[in-house]
A = this chain, B = another copy of it.
């Protein structure tokens, strides 16, 4: 219902790729990281489906690993295709950002 949620469309996927690219990680931690970055309203119902989709598209790969505390974690890392997709996402973000900034910028 809120514009806020709509603004995330397409962006979340790229952000998740970027965070995984920095360091392999798992779903639950991703939700914490995103919140630290300021994307506070991202729920697990958003994150896990994206991870499954990215995996299906062969952009990431996941392996179960034991955790010292709590249940097993599924650590994901980027594939080569994933790294390319990330680069493409960043380019697309830039080509969207500039026009939007120009449009919403108040002229003096």
Interface residues of A (CB under 8 A from B): 2-11, 13-15, 18-19, 22, 34, 37-39, 85, 88-90, 92-93, 95-100, 102-104, 107
Which residues of the other chain, B, contact A88 by a CB distance below 8 angstroms? 3
Which residues of the other chain, B, contact A5 by a CB distance below 8 angstroms? 10
Minimum CB distance partner of A107 in chain B = B22
Docked Cα-Cα span, A34 to B8, in Å, equals 21
Which residues of the other chain, B, contact A34 by a CB distance below 8 angstroms? 99
> When the two chains form their complex, are residues B100 and A4 in contact, meaning their CB atoms are under 8 A apart?
no
> When the two chains form their complex, are residues B100 and A15 in contact, meaning their CB atoms are under 8 A apart?
yes
> When the two chains form their complex, are residues B15 and A93 in contact, meaning their CB atoms are under 8 A apart?
no
> When the two chains form their complex, are residues B3 and A103 in contact, meaning their CB atoms are under 8 A apart?
no
